[in-house]
Structure 1
């Protein structure tokens, strides 16, 4: 059997997690994106709409659709930012806070289930590997490192010929 690549394992695992969360959220007429947004909005002080997308890693168009749906369901309200008249703050309604607690409990149940089946040591290694992958990506060291290694390999191969 072929060895699976790291990106394949990450993608397949994330898709399974997303499917699981969406199945659970559908029981409450919601989605994983809605739950994630509820958890990303400051419970008391609200959150600027411009910081929500980057915080969630979501594109503006997807975020706009999610926020519109959340507003229609009475989960959030939008108010002008008193410090910046051009900006908008997103606040949770009482109903939104209730659904936020439900989302938080769902995430905690997932964490508990994983922790029940994975040792603390293995979980710590997983977290460390994920942090290294994120650092490599943020620092743009994925392809530069490979290109550098390949260039060195080609140079060695050329001199050996």
Structure 2
């Protein structure tokens, strides 16, 4: 149940229907995005951000899915955890590796560079003030640009923000 007035996928019209149509029927519209229908302008911008990450120049879709799943698990965002677990499963990741991903970035089978970035992202979520210049330089030495680093951390921060909104407005 939503505490705010939202639009269910089957009742969507206009802009909301167009935005919902971006999600294949086999995936469905995540509850967190249904919540965003309470503010169509915000929902539209949120989906633009999702599209930005989905078409990222450097970071893989597997990276972003592993990030979303593992951060959702970390912050207790059950709906996004389940949703992204399903995507990881469709990508071919076994259940045991998905469970391990909650605390072990190597479980996703990403390349070594993306594993390091995912590990860093978890540090940013857990202890943001502890990030050091040395760690950022190490990521740069792996070929990540500052934009890549910020994009990954922003995706994680978005998951934390989504968790807060979900917990406040969905029962």
Asked if Structure 1 and Structure 2 have the same fold, meaning a TM-score greater than 0.5 normalized by the shorter chain, the answer is no
Structure with the bigger RCO (C-alpha within 8 Å, sep 6+) is: 2
Normalised TM-score (structure 1)? 0.34
Max Rg structure:
1
Normalised TM-score (structure 2)? 0.33
**Higher strand proportion (structure 1 or 2):** 1
